[in-house]
Structure 1
Amino acid sequence: MNFAIVGCGFIAKKHAKAIKEAEGAQLVAVCDKFPDAMKLYVEEYGATPYRELTEMLEGENVDVVCICTPSGLHAPIAVQVAEAKKHIVLEKPIAMTLEETDRIIEACEKNNVKLTVVHPNRFRPVVKELRKIMDQNLLGKISHANATVNWNRNQEYYDQSPWRGTKEHDGGVLMNQAIHNLDLLLWFMGKPEEVFSMEATRLRQIEAEDVSTGIIRFESGALGTVEASTTVYPENYEESITIFGEHGTVKISGKNALFFEHLVIEGKSDTELEELKKKVKNDPWGTPGHQWIIEDMAEAIEENRTPSITGEDGRRALELVLTFYESARQNQPIQLVKEKAYVNS
């Protein structure tokens, strides 16, 4: 399966490595407006460099295009790739607005193109084990859940590229860092119906937020809280998901939410739960999430099925972020209305 990468910044390195490690995949081309950005991929992976996307799409035998550009450029590039009949692996967030997102999804459907959005945390061993627990309803009725991302992204990080921290091309901590945890929260808890959020830009000299807190009421009646920041000194502190149920409590945590910090389930012995904790601890990263996504896309094409993470999944995570933004702007709770979306103004 021939892969190409558009946008050769930091995240493209993860895609290139994932393609190299994935069974039956190879990187054949890269595209970036800056030639120096493509040197690594030419020298290390043997990829053909292109400065123009149209030239690459027409000149290369490409099956899948990984889009790794700044988020604000996702929509026009994804639509162009879809119209060229190439399948798409799209970095998060899927786009910056729901209108752009719907353009992407519609273009993929119209051109019979498969689309997956990069939410790799779903493939971490501890997250997959928590998913099994939820699928088996071992926790019973859920009362509430917490999602926390307290990380450090210093000013130097934002100053590396002029688009970082902007509302047009990047967003703040919710859009860029915490969106993975929001995706997991939705995956575990189901559809949200109401949110209330506050946000601030406290320490970083950026346009978007560097700290955010929010509350969610899910359709099930369960509540959720979200806390996210890039202001923690001097390094990443915690990424966690905690779920409280009538028959158990589970917290996955660590600097990157890789371990069971708390695991109590009615009917499960201490020995059984300790073995599960140990199993995860022995291989906390497992197969890298980007590799899972690349292999899943290749298999989806071969088997003519939908990828495990869909464009609609990416849309749901984006909609939650945008509704948080709207709630903070209005300083009041916002209802998520079916088939209606709020966009960041």
Structure 2
Amino acid sequence: MKTVKIGLIGCGRISKNHLDAVSQIPEAEFVAVCDLVEEKMQAVAENYGIKNLYNNYQDMLENEKLDLVSICTPSGLHPQMGIDVAKHKINVLTEKPMATNIESADALIRACDQNKVKLFVVKQNRLNATMQLLKRAIDKGRFGRIYLAESNVFWQRPQSYYDNEKWRGTWEFDGGAFMNQASHYVDALYWLLGNVDSVMAYTATMARRIEAEDTGCAILHFRNGIIATINVTMLTYPKNFEGSITIIGEKGTVKIGGVAVNKIEKWEFEDYDDDDRIAQDANYQPPNVYGFGHNPYYRNVIDVLLGKDVPSTDGRDGRKSVEIIQAIYRSAKTGKRVSLPL
């Protein structure tokens, strides 16, 4: 059995999910790791038995024989790093969002196409048991016509969170609550409901000393007529409260809530389906807002690289949420409705 050899760039808070996920897959292993902060990198190397350490990712790309590189750095760095990886003919996996604007997202997609390597963008929330059930209900037509959808991301990020890493909350490297924390929820609405036709939004920086927004509301009008709202704040007292998606249709109403779409809070349809029994037991308690989705996500990635599966999300899929969020920012800035594609 071929072992997929993986390199990691960035040892910040999300890297643990990647390292844990791969540690459970016999056909894959992290063989090299790179970070500018020596202590973070040493801790990761010791905890996961990784022998090859680098302060410069270009050196890692030159010296290691890698099948895949996982990029877990600040969002604004994803595109250039991904392009550099692709130029070494190595497959690219990037955390969300893949970029902070569609121009750099397109440059990364192009580089991967030209170098004939695969581009994976992490969208782990799609793989939650609760979200899989909701997607199945939509695909089976159980809602009938869907009228309205709502997503709430009511979380808490104290000032210390932004102060700990200077890139957080900056336009160049991070974006605000929509681009960073809510991007999985924007992606989920697109995945569940289809393409967005136009967007209207308000954003504000109310309590955090950052460039980008800590709070905002957006209205999405989908091409199929559905209207959806996304409400986002990082100012929830006293801690993370809700990460939810509600769908209201002519024959069904569902709310998946909890702190990170981990609890089915309402599941009601006109007609019975065997999934209704599964829905009663689908709730789970995640260790944090990232959930357990990185595990099945990496399982898919490794299977793709071993020629056993097709990608669950690729670069073009990952680009969609970047474009929708860019439209949200454009609407908030101009006070006008913004049509898609941009």
Query: TM class by shorter-chain length?
Result: over 0.9
Taking only aligned residues, the RMSD between alpha carbons, in angstroms, comes to 1.6
- 1:12-35 CA distance string (max 9 Å, x none): 121111111223111100011222
Runs of 5+ unmatched residues, structure 2? none
Displacement of 1:305 after TM fit? 5.4
Q: How does 1:104-115 map to 2 (within 5 A)?
A: 104-115=108-119
Within the alignment, does 1:280 sit opposite 2:279 as a pair?
A: no
Corresponding residue for 2:74?
A: 70
Within the alignment, does 1:171 sit opposite 2:178 as a pair?
A: no
Corresponding residue for 2:6?
A: 3
Q: Match of 2:220, SS? A: strand
Which has the larger displacement, 13-22 or 212-221? Answer: 13-22
Query: Hey, which bits of structure 1, 4+ residues long, moved more than 3 A?
Result: 283-287
Corresponding residue for 2:34?
A: 31
Alpha-carbon contact 1:247-1:266 (below 8 Å) kept:
yes
Displacement of 1:278 after TM fit? 2.6
The one-letter code of the counterpart of 1:92 is K
Displacement of 1:285 after TM fit? 5.2
Q: Match of 1:174, SS? A: coil
Alpha-carbon contact 2:300-2:309 (below 8 Å) kept:
no
Q: Match of 2:212, SS? A: coil
Distance 1:160 1:121, change over 3 A: same
Q: Match of 2:179, SS? A: helix
The one-letter code of the counterpart of 1:19 is V
- 1:128-149 CA distance string (max 9 Å, x none): 1111111111111111111110
Alpha-carbon contact 1:3-1:19 (below 8 Å) kept:
no
Structure-1 separation of matches of 2:278 and 2:301: 29
Which has the larger displacement, 295-304 or 153-162? Answer: 295-304
Q: Match of 2:157, SS? A: coil
- 1:188-232 CA distance string (max 9 Å, x none): 110011110001001111110000101111000111111001010
Q: Match of 2:281, SS? A: helix
The one-letter code of the counterpart of 1:143 is Y
Displacement of 1:41 after TM fit? 2.3
Structure-1 separation of matches of 2:26 and 2:294: 13
Distance 1:111 1:306, change over 3 A: farther
Within the alignment, does 1:182 sit opposite 2:182 as a pair?
A: no
Alpha-carbon contact 2:256-2:263 (below 8 Å) kept:
yes
Structure-2 separation of matches of 1:175 and 1:152: 15
Displacement of 1:336 after TM fit? 1.0
Displacement of 1:318 after TM fit? 0.5
Structure-1 separation of matches of 2:135 and 2:196: 18
Corresponding residue for 2:23?
A: 20
Q: Match of 1:250, SS? A: strand
Alpha-carbon contact 1:149-1:229 (below 8 Å) kept:
yes
Q: Match of 1:39, SS? A: helix
Alpha-carbon contact 1:8-1:31 (below 8 Å) kept:
yes
Displacement of 1:46 after TM fit? 2.3
Structure-2 separation of matches of 1:235 and 1:249: 28
Alpha-carbon contact 1:126-1:284 (below 8 Å) kept:
no
Displacement of 1:70 after TM fit? 0.6
Structure-2 separation of matches of 1:129 and 1:330: 38
Structure-2 separation of matches of 1:36 and 1:238: 33
- 1:22-80 CA distance string (max 9 Å, x none): 23111100011222221022212222101121211121121110001111111110000
Runs of 5+ unmatched residues, structure 1? none
Which has the larger displacement, 324-333 or 17-26? Answer: 17-26
Alpha-carbon contact 2:197-2:223 (below 8 Å) kept:
yes
- 1:80-108 CA distance string (max 9 Å, x none): 00011111110011101111001100111
Q: Match of 1:176, SS? A: coil
Structure-2 separation of matches of 1:304 and 1:106: 25
Which has the larger displacement, 187-196 or 284-293? Answer: 284-293
The one-letter code of the counterpart of 2:152 is T
Within the alignment, does 1:317 sit opposite 2:321 as a pair?
A: yes
Within the alignment, does 1:141 sit opposite 2:142 as a pair?
A: no
Within the alignment, does 1:129 sit opposite 2:141 as a pair?
A: no
- 1:217-263 CA distance string (max 9 Å, x none): 10001111110010101101111101111111111011111111111
What is the TM-score with the length of structure 2 in the denominator?
0.94
Percent identical pairs in the alignment equals 37
Corresponding residue for 2:271?
A: 267
Among 187, 199, 209, which residue is 2:213 paired with? 209
Higher helix share: 1
What is the TM-score with the length of structure 1 in the denominator?
0.94
Alpha-carbon contact 1:23-1:295 (below 8 Å) kept:
no
